[in-house]
Each structure stands twice: as structure tokens, then as C-alpha cells.
Structure 1
């Protein structure tokens, strides 16, 4: 007579890290902020310290129910895949939500706004609907926010263990942080950066050489602000469809100026084109493991 087997015990769920939500965060000179923080597997039972990746548009990173378009980057899954290669250490991800309609004026680099030709700046102002506050946003990111993160979690707070990433206007903001605060951010990913800053079709209407002039402005910005690599690492990319279809001339100018500054492509910086990729979260999610593996590798 066969005995009935003992009831099988459920396998413990794999540790895929955990999320923390901070719904109301005040920041001087800015709209109210919100955070989603991902702690990597093993964080709670460990004593080690972790590098930190700051990401913009935090509402689109982890949970579809918070997302704008029912699509997410799946940033936690992407980092787990990068970690599985053995070349990327576990990181804490700090997702900073965009403040609704204030997103544009919080992410547009103040340098570019101030240097823009009058007609282009007027169009930027119309989109912004209020004062540009990217300087205040960067001051908060690199100051009070980072100080709180480093005090509240077991981080490695130095430049070489602090990265920043974003897409579209968040890509511009990531470049802004990288150029303006090289003492804080040793890694940056500027994904599908929205170089036209406004509707791309309107740039050419601002002046006779509007697109070329704006591309040169971005190039000059990198040439004067980038400095030497000194161990830093920068990722740039774009697709070829929807909004990304407008980015190639701008990216070519930026790439040329980065190379001219003595940065070694493939080592200090990378610039990639993804044929067929659109300007949307699923496209960014698809390449995020590759981005993180290159950007965060030890």
C-alpha cells in the first residue's frame, strides 16, 4: 500500500528586491516631488554598501499602475539581468517621479534655455508654462536628496558609485547633471534625448538655420562643459522612429564634440542607434539591460 506523499511546501518566492514609496517630498523652489526606491535582493539581510542609480520619470520605471502610458522601463528587471552577468554590482535605484505638467520646465537644461535664440527661447517658454527650474532641480538632486539617500540607506556615496539616467527630456536632464556636477555623478545614460527641446518640426521655423544652430549649441555645451573623462562614463542613444527619427543630426554633432574632447568611444562614452526603435517605454525597456551593463560595469 502506497503512502500519500506529504503536502508539498511552496517554494519561497525569489528575492527580486523591494520597492519603497515616498509620496510627498518637498524640495525648495520646486513642485512637490515623489520617489520610488528599489532596494536590490539581499539588501535587508546584508551589511554591505551599494552604488546608487538615480532615474528620472520614476512613475514609469517599475509599476504599470503608476505609468503614463501603461508601459514601464522595468528598471528592476533590467538591473537584475545586468547583475546576472557578474559584471555589474547590485545597485539601489532611486526613481524620481516627474511633477506632471511641470516636467518640461524641471528637465530642460537652464544653460540651453538661456543661450537659445530669442525665437526658440520664446517657444520653449510657451511649452514650459512657467520659469525653468532645472537649476533648482539639479541642486536638490545633488544636494538634499542625495544627502538624505546616503544617510537613510547603506550607499557608496562617492562619484564613481553614483549614476544618473533618463529618457527624452530626462535624457537632457541626465546630461545636464553629468556636465554640471562631475563631482557627484560618475556615470550618466542619456536615452533618446530630446535634443530639439520643443516640437522638432518647429525648430526650423525659429530661424533660417534653426536646426543647425541648435545642434551647434548642444555641441558647444558638451565641448565646453564635458572636461576630461577622469574615470567617468557616458551613454547616449536614440532610435529611428517617431520622435527619435529627428535626433540623428543633433546626436552626430554631440558625438563629434565628445570625441573632439578626447573621450574614447567604447571606453569613456558610447553612442548607439537602434534601427526601428520608437520613442517610448517599451523600446527603452528593451535596451536598458545593455545600457546598464555597459554603464555600471565594474
Structure 2
């Protein structure tokens, strides 16, 4: 059974943990560089921008880099491009963790979203497991059937082969991960379970289990629970990181997370393959996720 700190203890420990991460090494003056792939084409989805972050000193002779694929790519590096003016600054965070020797060499592939974000990030199989009435209610608010299966085909069949061909990556499952927040958390979990031979783990920040922005309904969570029961592997378990706050939209999430956690426990997930973190008071935004990335990155990418 996974062991987790109680929320109050996490609230007390988090500032110290983040201070230790920052104190071990100053923010790097050169966190690396970004190669921008504009309007990356696809047979499956609409073309979109992709940013590939390469760490300082890249390429290191003889090094094969792990790869972290992340959704909402315009929000990752540059506050000027971020949708709400705040970026995750994951390049700086990874640079510090790399200098400290806490993660293995890694590049980040930031996949920009489009106006089709909601259908592309909605896991199709759980969605269609809901009743027709439940799906209709969601589509009245957020129109469009899921496009997630095509979106994942784009990543796995088109983008990943390009990245592996043009950069010195380690294409192995054990070195390939996916991450995102909110709806991006849902599609990250879906990617890890639909393509277990491709992705070795997923980081899901403030996963938006209800799908709706108007009603905190358990319908989709019930479908996800059923889906997890069918898809969670007995062997070669992907690493799964989940977290959530308690303010703004995150205030909805704890009952959903408890149900998902129970399924993971029943499938014998433990500390080496699964973490769920609670951050009392944390809201649903990039600034909150930025603070939590060191925990998720060390879980996925530890040496």
C-alpha cells in the first residue's frame, strides 16, 4: 500500500522541501535552449507548434536523453507565451535538478494546445462508457466528441518518431514519460494506459476528473474507475504521479481522487510506482503547478 503524508504534514513540509531544492544550487543562468517546431504537421490532428527544450551542455557525448512529453506546451517555458502570463518554467527546474544529480538527463517536448484542447484531452474510452444522457450534458457545455485517440496517435506515431530521429534520445519505455495539468492530467493518464509499451509513466497535476466546469459530477470518475480496473497492468506498471490542491477548481477533486486511489491500491500499486500528493490551499493554476514540478520530476526521472 502506498504511504502518503497527511495533508497538514505536507503543508508544513513543502516550503522546507522547496527551499532545499533551491538552496542546493542557484537558479541556472543558462537553463538550456528551445528548438521551436512551428506548425508540426499530422495526418491525425490539426497542425500545431511544438517546443523541444534541450538542457545546457546538450548534447553530451555518449548520452541518450530521457524524454518528457508535456501538453499545453505554450505554458511551459516563456511567460510571454503562456495563456495566463505565468509559465511552469520547467526548463529552469529541470536544470537545477540536473545540476544536483537528482534526475537523469532529459529533454522536454512541449506540445502546444489548439482550440480543440477539450476534445483532444478527453479520454475517449471512459467517455463513451458514460450514458448518452451524461455525454449530452457534457457536450452542451463543452461541445465536441473526444479526439483523444487521434491526438495520441499523433504523439506516438508521428511526433515521437521525429524526436527520436532528430535528437539523441533513449526511445525505451523506461525513459519516456508524459505529463500535464487539469485536462492535461486526464490525457496523460490515458496515454500511459493506452500505450503501456511507449510510456513508462505519467505525471497528472490537478487532474480534472469531472470534465464539466459547471457541475462536480461523479459520472466521468465512475467511468474512469471502470476503465482503470480493465487497463491497469499487473506487470510493468507505469509510474503514476497525481496531485491536487484545495482552492478554486481543485476544491472539487478530493472525492474523485479517493475513488481512483482505491483502484490503484486494489491493483497493488505502491510507493515505487504511485504517488498521490495533497496541497491544502493550492489553487488551480500554473503558479501552483510550477511549485510542485520538482516532486513529480524526481519521481519520474530519478537516477
Same fold (TM over 0.5): yes
Residue 293 (structure 2) pairs with residue 279 (structure 1): no
What is the CA–CA distance in structure 1 between the aligned matches of 2:141 and 2:51, rounded to whole Å? 27
What is the CA–CA distance in structure 2 between the aligned matches of 1:215 and 1:15, rounded to whole Å? 42
Query: 1:251 deviation in Å?
Result: 0.5
Higher relative contact order (CA 8 A, sep 6+): 2
> Match for residue 242 of structure 1?
248
Alpha-carbon contact 1:190-1:235 (below 8 Å) kept: yes
Alpha-carbon contact 2:66-2:106 (below 8 Å) kept: yes
CA deviations 1:223-279 (Å, max 9, x no partner) are 211112525311011110111000111100000001101111x21100111111000
> Match for residue 225 of structure 1?
231
Pairwise CA RMSD of aligned residues? Answer: 1.6
> Match for residue 189 of structure 1?
203
Query: 1:29 deviation in Å?
Result: 2.9
CA deviations 1:7-28 (Å, max 9, x no partner) are xxxxxx9442101111211112
**Pairing partner for 2:272 from 267, 270, 277:** 267
CA deviations 1:29-83 (Å, max 9, x no partner) are 3122110110011114534210100000000000011110001111111212322
Q: Secondary structure at the match of 2:45?
A: coil
Q: How does 1:125-274 map to 2 (within 5 A)?
A: 125-199=139-213, 201-204=214-217, 211=218, 213-230=219-236, 232-264=238-270, 266-274=271-279
Q: How does 1:86-125 map to 2 (within 5 A)?
A: 86-99=101-114, 101-125=115-139
Query: 1:121 deviation in Å?
Result: 0.5
- Return the TM-score normalized by structure 2: 0.87
> Match for residue 8 of structure 1?
none
What is the CA–CA distance in structure 2 between the aligned matches of 1:275 and 1:59, rounded to whole Å? 27
**Pairing partner for 2:41 from 7, 17, 26:** 26
Query: 1:106 deviation in Å?
Result: 0.6
Unaligned stretches of 5+ residues in structure 2 = 1-27
What is the CA–CA distance in structure 2 between the aligned matches of 1:64 and 1:46, rounded to whole Å? 32
User: How many correspondences in the alignment?
Assistant: 276
Q: How does 1:47-66 map to 2 (within 5 A)?
A: 47-66=62-81
